[in-house]
């Protein structure tokens, strides 16, 4: 189960893509819960959800390691009710924020809405900030939620390129589950991809099962591979047995038989001789022009 492996291992930049049709917020809480159970400090930049919603259902023995930086309900700082605003999404501010509350281990940074940040920052500056945070040494894992239907696909593609793992969520036919398409790129450059069904319980526990293949999918592939491409033609490309034998008996004009080869190569009397008959208009001198050269 690739999704479970990513949640249990952590590390790198993990991007969760969702849309209005399927929210990835429950999956984000599963990542927070797993990091807390590993004993890691988790810093949440809450731009779209209050702290009570983020902490709901989490293990009470682990919640003390969760540091919520309030951006909701004033992410732009208009009413000065937030301790962290979109404007402060910069490597120096976030690094200092983590250092003030950090223990020995590197922390986990969670942004409950990268879309909120991306809509108010230049995309180039946004990407540079993510790179600086990844390379700064203070943060072990960055986990961000991106509403992909709010942005141009080119910008979404750039952010996905920065991520080591991209999880795209979509609705499933079964209302109890959702579909997660996980793409993970290792340090060696190897890419792994898998689609799975998942569900999230109230205590932020994740249940994952492999996505079954569609009925008849394998049979359909086999039927296509065995189809006869000449079956629906208006003319016949195949030869009967009689036509095949008649074709083999036809002598091709550019193929010589053994008898014809022997006849062409057999020497005849007078072969190799050159006979010249002078023409009436030829200027022929009977005297030897080179008689002065005789010794």
The torsion of the CA quartet 151, 155, 157, 163, rounded to 10 degrees, works out to: -100
CATH number of 169's domain: 3.40.50.300
Q: What is the pLDDT of residue 286?
A: 61
Q: Is residue 267 part of a domain?
A: no
Q: Is residue 288 part of a domain?
A: no
For 80-176, where are the alpha helices, taking DSSP H only? 91-99, 114-118, 123-135, 153-162
Q: Is residue 100 part of a domain?
A: yes
Q: What is the pLDDT of residue 244?
A: 77
The CA distances from residue 221 to 212, 215, 231, in Å, are: 16, 12, 18
Q: What is the mean pLDDT of the chain?
A: 84
How many Cβ atoms sit within 10 Å of the Cβ of residue 25?
A: 17
Q: Largest alpha-carbon pair distance within the chain?
A: 130
Mean pLDDT by 10 residues, the chain (295 residues): 92 96 96 94 95 90 92 92 93 92 80 96 95 92 97 95 96 90 91 95 92 56 47 64 77 65 65 66 62 57
- Model confidence pLDDT, tens digit, residues 120-161: 999 999 999 999 999 988 999 999 999 999 999 999 999 999
Q: Rounded distance, CA 264 to CA 259, Å?
A: 9
Look up the domain containing 27 and give its range. 2-210
Q: Is residue 8 part of a domain?
A: yes
- CA angle at residue 198 from 196 to 202, to 5 degrees? 170
């927070």: which residue's tokens? 32
Q: What is the pLDDT of residue 281?
A: 67
Q: Rounded distance, CA 140 to CA 128, Å?
A: 17
- Model confidence pLDDT, tens digit, residues 80-92: 889 999 999 999 9
For the chain, where are the alpha helices, taking DSSP H only? 2-9, 25-37, 51-55, 91-99, 114-118, 123-135, 153-162, 217-225, 241-249, 258-265
Q: Is residue 246 part of a domain?
A: no
Q: Is residue 252 part of a domain?
A: no
The answer to whether residues 74 and 40 touch, using CB atoms and an 8 Å cutoff, is: no
- Quote the number of domains for the chain: 1
Q: Is residue 79 part of a domain?
A: yes
pTM of the model: 0.71
CA of residue 14 relative to chain centroid, distance: 15
Q: Is residue 261 part of a domain?
A: no
């Amino acid at each position: 189960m690739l999704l479970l492996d990513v949640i249990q291992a952590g590390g790198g930049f993990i991007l969760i893509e969702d849309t209005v049709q399927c929210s990835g917020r429950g999956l984000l809480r599963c990542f927070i819960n797993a990091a807390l159970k590993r004993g890691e400090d988790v810093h949440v930049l809450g731009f779209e959800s209050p702290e009570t919603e983020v902490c709901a259902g989490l293990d009470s023995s682990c919640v003390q390691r969760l540091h919520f930086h309030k951006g909701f309900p004033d992410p732009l700082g208009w009413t000065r009710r937030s301790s962290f605003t979109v404007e402060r999404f910069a490597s120096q501010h976030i690094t200092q924020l983590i250092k003030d509350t950090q223990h020995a281990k590197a922390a986990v940074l969670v942004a409950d809405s990268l879309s909120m940040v991306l809509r108010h920052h230049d995309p180039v500056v946004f990407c540079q900030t993510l790179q600086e945070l990844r390379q700064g040494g203070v943060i072990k894992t960055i986990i961000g939620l991106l509403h992909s239907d709010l942005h141009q696909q080119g910008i979404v593609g750039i952010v996905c390129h920065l991520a080591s793992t991209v999880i795209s969520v979509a609705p499933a036919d079964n209302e109890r589950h959702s579909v997660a398409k996980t793409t993970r790129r290792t340090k060696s450059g190897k890419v792994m991809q898998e689609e799975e069904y998942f569900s999230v319980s109230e205590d932020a526990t994740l249940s994952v099962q492999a996505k079954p293949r569609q009925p008849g999918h394998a049979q359909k592939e086999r039927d296509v591979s065995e189809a006869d491409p000449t079956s629906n033609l208006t003319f016949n490309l195949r030869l009967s047995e009689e036509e095949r034998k008649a074709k083999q008996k036809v002598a091709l004009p550019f193929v010589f038989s053994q008898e014809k080869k022997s006849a062409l190569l057999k020497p005849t009397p007078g072969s190799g001789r050159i006979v010249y008959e002078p023409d009436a208009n030829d200027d022929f001198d009977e005297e030897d022009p080179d008689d002065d050269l005789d010794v």
